[in-house]
A and B are shown apart, each in its own frame.
Chain A
Amino acid sequence: MTATVTTPPQRTPAQRLLRLARRNKLSTVGLILFGLIALAAIAAPLLSSHDPLAQNILHRLEDRSADYLLGTDVYGRDTWARILFGLRVSLLIGLISTALAMIIGSALGILAGYRGGWVDSLIMRIMDMLLAFPTLITGLFIVAVLGANFWNIVLAITVTILPKFARVARAPTIALKEREFVEAARALGYSDVRIMAVHIAPNVLGEVIVLASLWAAYAIRIEAYLSFIGLGIAPPTPTLGTMIREGFEHILDSPFVSIYPGFAVLLVVLSLNLIGDGLRDAIDPKLRD
Chain B
Amino acid sequence: MTATPLMTVEDLSISFRIEDRWCRAVNGVSFDIMPDETLCLVGESGCGKSITAMSLMRLLPGSARLGGRIGFDGKDILTMPEAELQTIRGRRIAMIFQEPMTSLNPVLTVGEQIAEPLVLHKGMGWAEAKREARHLLDLVRIPDADRRLRQYPYELSGGMRQRVMIAIGLACRPEILIADEPTTALDVTIQAQVLALLDEIRREQGLSIVLITHDLGVVANVADRVAVMYAGDLVETAPAGELFDKPSHPYTQALLRTVPRADAAFDLHPIEGQVPSIQSMPEGCRFAPRCGEAHAACSSPPNLSSGPHAVRCWARRDVA
Q: Is there any pair of Cβ atoms, one from A and one from B, under 8 angstroms apart in the complex?
A: yes
Residues of A at the B interface (CB closer than 8 Å) are: 1-6
Instruction: With both chains docked as a complex, state the minimum distance between the C-beta of A242 and any C-beta of chain B, in angstroms.
Output: 50
Contact of B16 among A3, A4, A6 (CB under 8 A): A3
> Chain B residues near A6 (CB, 8 Å)?
279
Contact between chains at A3 and B18 (CB < 8 Å) = yes
Give A289's nearest chain B residue, CB to CB.
Answer: B63
**How large, as a class, is the contact surface on chain B?**
10 to 19
B24-48: contact bitstring with A at CB < 8 Å (1 yes, 0 no)?
A: 0100000000000000000001101
| B45 engages A2 (CB within 8 Å) | yes
A3 touches B277 (CB 8 A): yes
Given A3-B277, A6-B279, 10 additional A-B pairs, CB 8 A: A1-B25, A1-B46, A1-B48, A2-B45, A2-B46, A3-B16, A3-B46, A3-B279, A4-B279, A5-B18
Which B9-28 residues have a C-beta within 8 angstroms of A? 16, 18-19, 23, 25
A-binding residues in B (CB < 8 A): 16, 18-19, 23, 25, 45-46, 48, 50-51, 277-279
Distance of A282 from chain B, by nearest CB (Å): 16
Residue of A nearest to B276 (CB): A4
Q: How many A-B residue pairs have CB under 8 A?
A: 21
- Cα A1 to Cα B47 in complex, Å, equals 7
Q: Within 8 Å CB of B23, what residues of A?
A: 3
CB distance from B56 to the nearest CB of A (A): 15
Asked if B45 and A3 make an inter-chain contact with CB atoms under 8 angstroms apart, the answer reads no
Could you list 20 A-B pairs, sorted by A, with CB under 8 Å? A1-B25, A1-B46, A1-B50, A1-B51, A2-B45, A2-B46, A3-B16, A3-B18, A3-B23, A3-B25, A3-B46, A3-B277, A3-B278, A3-B279, A4-B277, A4-B279, A5-B18, A5-B19, A5-B279, A6-B279
Cα separation A180 to B24 with both chains bound (whole Å): 36
Output the nearest chain B residue to A2 by Cβ-Cβ distance.
B46
A32 to B271, CA, bound (A): 56
Nearest 5 CB-CB pairings of A with B = A4-B277, A1-B51, A2-B46, A3-B278, A1-B50
* Nearest chain B residue, comparing its CB with the CB of A5: B18
- Bound Cα distance from A64 to B229, whole angstroms: 76
Residues of B within 8 A of A4 (CB): 277, 279
Residues of chain A within 8 A of B19, CB atoms compared: 5
Chain A residues lying within 8 Å of B277, measured Cβ to Cβ, are: 3-4
A85 CB to closest chain B CB (Å) equals 49
A5 and B16 CA atoms in complex are apart in Å by 13
Q: How far is the CA of A201 from the CA of B255 in the complex (A)?
A: 47
- Minimum CB–CB distance for B243 against chain A, Å: 24
Contacts of B16 in A (CB 8 A): 3
How far is the CB of B290 from the nearest CB of chain A, in Å?
A: 15
- Least CB distance from A63 to B in Å reads 54
> How far is the CB of A188 from the nearest CB of chain B, in Å?
34
Of A4, A5, A6, which is in contact with the most chain B CB atoms at under 10 Å from its CB? Answer: A4
Complex Cα spacing A5 to B18, Å? 8
Specify the chain A residue showing the minimal Cβ separation from B274. Answer: A4
Q: Report A175 CB to chain B, min CB distance, Å.
A: 22
Closest B residue, CB atoms, query A1: B51
Nearest CB in chain B: distance from A285 CB, A: 13
